[in-house]
Amino acid sequence: MTMRIAVFNQKGGVGKTTTVLSLASALHQSGQTPVAIDMDPQAHLSSVHGNALNGVERSMFSFFQQQTTLRAIEID
């Protein structure tokens, strides 16, 4: 069974990143393999994991603006 959960809110400072990080952690601890996609322009979720340094060529920006494939932006 595949579960999809989206967390969004237009207002800043409402705990979206913290919620996603905590939810992904809980899913991982329960034996699941969560995938968290950071679409925040500030990339706070990515920076928590040290992935923000991958640059725009490996980002959701490149996926939407430059038609980069999801496989190409996948983080190892």
* pLDDT per residue as tens digits for the range 18-74: 999 999 999 999 999 888 888 877 778 877 776 555 555 667 777 887 888 888 877
Task: Establish if 66 belongs to a structural domain.
Answer: yes
Q: What pTM was computed for the model?
A: 0.67
Task: Please check whether residue 61 lies inside any domain of the structure.
Answer: yes
- Could you list the residue range(s) of the whole structural domain that residue 28 is in? 16-73
What confidence score (pLDDT) does residue 29 get? 96
Find out whether 59 and 70 touch, Cβ atoms under 8 Å.
no
- Position 1 in a domain: no
- Kindly state whether residue 49 falls inside one of the protein's structural domains: yes
User: Contact at 8 Å (CB) between 33 and 57?
Assistant: no
Give the model's pLDDT for residue 52.
56
Does residue 6 fall inside a structural domain? no
C-alpha pair distances (Å), 46 with each of 2, 43, 50: 23, 5, 6
Average pLDDT for residues 10-19, to the nearest whole number? 87
Provide CB contacts within 8 A for 24, sequence distance 6+. Answer: 34, 36
Residue 54 lies in a domain: yes
Number of domains in the chain: 1
> Is the residue at 3 inside a domain?
no
- Half-sphere exposure (CA, 13 Å, Cβ side) for 43? 14
Q: What is the pLDDT, as a whole number, of residue 76?
A: 60
